[in-house]
Chains A and B, each alone.
Chain A
């Protein structure tokens, strides 16, 4: 077996182990044998309610959102050709969160099914502002990242404003998950997004060759027959869809879109045919693990997965910054 094959096998095993741990960890710790009994309907002690109603949908949701955030990050990094970029850093996640908040605020009677649409609208709006804004000044990667940070701050301010001005606790409490938590997510939330997410993930995985072309730079890519503008636009929309859909169900989970593609690139190199699935698996494992550790660290209190990913991701971000700086200087 080749080295790449080994890496993939290891990753799949890792994701499976993390998922099992996620099913067992929490306020009520559950034995692995009980999990097996429940999942496969065997004889013996079971925990139907906790596992099937609470932890299983949560784990599946974590797997899906982890995959989509990681792919979104990989696409954004390839488009901007900047290892420090991610949907969170350039403000897309915050835009989606603002979209969700605005919808709940302005149209409280509309059903939850429209949350993903509101998130996508917010994400697209943020991305448009970032792109136009950066384009005004020649769209250098540095400018783009900076404008993205600013747009993110702006959307965060809007979200904070909506959260604190809603005097109604009934209203603001459900919005707390916007800060990145899988708490109380169930089958209904999964039902909202899984078809869309699966389609987007499949499209993203199949577009690896476009990303490879774009990574060569705009001149080379168009020389090789690629319509750079169209490819960039469609990929950007795909990245926004992936990020916004996951924000609409689990809130802003920072740094997953940053870490996963970066680790994948370090392990398997820059070719997107292997990088994308590898990043996807790492993202899945990361979110499942972050959610599980948040439940396991001090039961019965739950620490949001968003806090765990931020605590892990911020130092990681700094590390990437310092190492890329060394490379540039050398």
Chain B
């Protein structure tokens, strides 16, 4: 009954505040940049250099930031639900690094040139890394251990990260991009990259919305979930697949950006509670807000030098993770 009333009109002010914040961050992301004289209204100018800066450089970047926020936020939401672990997220479970490894393999060893092939490799890498972490934590035997999940993820992530760096050491041409592949950066994205990610972000959102009710049932425990007609193994498989696709596609565009998947679901749960049917629509908004804000900060903080956006997010996310590690209750 509470739930029903809570989902009524009372929620609208809060939701519109969120949307307002999102728009403000989009504005902040799009107006900051190397050329301080180019502003928002140049979007509507015709055939000037300023308009070109807005349309060809800043707008795609902002859109990509938005999509990555959506992707990683949703991936974190799904992973936290299916593992029932508040610390789960693509970066901490090694999924991010696995995707980066898959992608780097594609770039170096099997010269895959088309974007779809690279994305597929990233998705495969993400799924494999997630599976290994899950297996290490005892998930295959049905006893998922929270601490082991995190430790296993750190080990898998460290291994994949070392492999990425190893590959780059051997390949001189690519080694200049190494920072992008270790911290995540969206400095050079263009409309081609937008095309690559926007479809997946939308598709991922729809897919997550479809399994939202299953994720809710997971929270009750595996036995209850099975009793209510949702096979938890099926939920896990679907969730892992969607999360791998979301993570892999965003890593393929921007490199492994950490902590978005950890922070965003927590913030959303604080705001609107644990119901995944609503979380699934709020997580993308907050994720996009966070990423666009981070993008703005990355361009503004040390102007005229740009910091990779992944570093900005890590500086926000790592203290958050520390708080989680200190105050989360159900770890031991």
CA distance A255 to B307 in the complex (A): 30
Q: Are A164 and B331 touching (Cβ within 8 A)? A: no
A231 at interface, CB cutoff 8 A:
no
A137-187 with Cβ < 8 A to chain B: 137, 140, 142-143, 145-147, 149-151, 153-154, 156-158, 160-161, 163-165, 167, 179
| Known contacts A146-B150, A307-B169, A325-B148; A160 and B314 CB within 8 A of each other | yes
A322 at interface, CB cutoff 8 A:
yes
Identify which of B58-66, B70-78, B115-123, B157-165 touches chain A.
B157-165
Contacts beyond the supplied A147-B322, A301-B169, A321-B152: 12 A-B pairs with Cβ under 8 Å: A146-B325, A150-B321, A154-B321, A160-B182, A160-B183, A161-B307, A164-B179, A254-B158, A302-B169, A315-B155, A317-B151, A321-B151
CA distance A179 to B156 in the complex (A): 18
Partner of A311, one of B163, B314, B318, B319: B163
Q: Are A310 and B161 touching (Cβ within 8 A)? A: yes
Chain B window 149-191, contacts with chain A (Cβ cutoff 8 Å), 1 for yes, 0 for no: 0111011101101110110011010000001001100000000
- Between A and B, 30 residue pairs with Cβ closer than 8 Å are A133-B326, A136-B326, A142-B331, A143-B326, A145-B151, A147-B325, A149-B154, A150-B326, A154-B322, A156-B318, A157-B311, A157-B315, A160-B183, A164-B183, A164-B307, A165-B302, A165-B307, A167-B305, A306-B162, A307-B162, A307-B165, A307-B166, A310-B161, A313-B158, A314-B159, A315-B159, A317-B155, A321-B152, A321-B155, A325-B148
Between A146, A254, A322, the greatest number of chain B beta carbons within 10 A of the residue's beta carbon is seen for A146
Q: Are A165 and B305 touching (Cβ within 8 A)? A: yes
Residues of B at the A interface (CB closer than 8 Å) are: 87, 136, 138, 145, 147-148, 150-152, 154-156, 158-159, 161-163, 165-166, 169-170, 172, 179, 182-183, 258, 302, 305, 307-308, 310-311, 314-315, 317-319, 321-322, 324-327, 331-332
CA distance A165 to B154 in the complex (A): 26
Q: Are A310 and B159 touching (Cβ within 8 A)? A: yes
Secondary structure call for the A interface? helix
What residues of chain A lie closer than 8 Å to B165, measured between beta carbons? 179, 304, 307
Partner of A321, one of B136, B308, B319: B136
A101-158 with Cβ < 8 A to chain B: 133, 136-137, 140, 142-143, 145-147, 149-151, 153-154, 156-158
Between B172, B307, B321, the greatest number of chain A beta carbons within 10 A of the residue's beta carbon is seen for B321
Q: Are A298 and B318 touching (Cβ within 8 A)? A: no
A84 at interface, CB cutoff 8 A:
yes
CA distance A84 to B307 in the complex (A): 35
What residues of chain B lie closer than 8 Å to A165, measured between beta carbons? 302, 305, 307, 311
A318 to chain B, nearest CB (A): 5
Chain A window 315-330, contacts with chain B (Cβ cutoff 8 Å), 1 for yes, 0 for no: 1011001100100000
B46 to chain A, nearest CB (A): 35
Identity of the chain A residue whose Cβ is nearest the Cβ of B157 in the assembled complex: A314
Q: Are B159 and A137 touching (Cβ within 8 A)? A: no
What residues of chain A lie closer than 8 Å to B327, measured between beta carbons? 137
Partner of A318, one of B152, B162, B302: B152
Residues of A at the B interface (CB closer than 8 Å) are: 84, 89, 133, 136-137, 140, 142-143, 145-147, 149-151, 153-154, 156-158, 160-161, 163-165, 167, 179, 254-255, 298, 301-304, 306-307, 310-311, 313-315, 317-318, 321-322, 325
Between A150, A301, A310, A313, the greatest number of chain B beta carbons within 10 A of the residue's beta carbon is seen for A150
CA distance A224 to B136 in the complex (A): 39
What residues of chain A lie closer than 8 Å to B138, measured between beta carbons? 325
Partner of B162, one of A89, A160, A164, A311: A311
Q: Are A161 and B311 touching (Cβ within 8 A)? A: yes
| Known contacts A146-B147, A317-B155, A318-B152; A161 and B315 CB within 8 A of each other | yes
Q: Are A153 and B321 touching (Cβ within 8 A)? A: yes
Q: Are A154 and B318 touching (Cβ within 8 A)? A: yes
CA distance A316 to B186 in the complex (A): 34
Q: Are B161 and A149 touching (Cβ within 8 A)? A: no
B298 to chain A, nearest CB (A): 10
Q: Are A164 and B308 touching (Cβ within 8 A)? A: yes
Between B162, B310, B318, the greatest number of chain A beta carbons within 10 A of the residue's beta carbon is seen for B162
What residues of chain B lie closer than 8 Å to A140, measured between beta carbons? 332
What residues of chain B lie closer than 8 Å to A154, measured between beta carbons? 318-319, 321-322
Q: Are B326 and A318 touching (Cβ within 8 A)? A: no
Identity of the chain A residue whose Cβ is nearest the Cβ of B316 in the assembled complex: A157
What residues of chain A lie closer than 8 Å to B182, measured between beta carbons? 160
CA distance A307 to B158 in the complex (A): 9
CA distance A161 to B155 in the complex (A): 23
CA distance A145 to B305 in the complex (A): 36
What residues of chain A lie closer than 8 Å to B314, measured between beta carbons? 153, 156-157, 160-161
Identity of the chain A residue whose Cβ is nearest the Cβ of B136 in the assembled complex: A318
| Known contacts A142-B332, A143-B331, A303-B166; A314 and B325 CB within 8 A of each other | no
What residues of chain A lie closer than 8 Å to B331, measured between beta carbons? 142-143, 146
Q: Are B326 and A304 touching (Cβ within 8 A)? A: no
Q: Are B307 and A311 touching (Cβ within 8 A)? A: no
A292 to chain B, nearest CB (A): 16
CA distance A288 to B89 in the complex (A): 36
CA distance A164 to B314 in the complex (A): 13
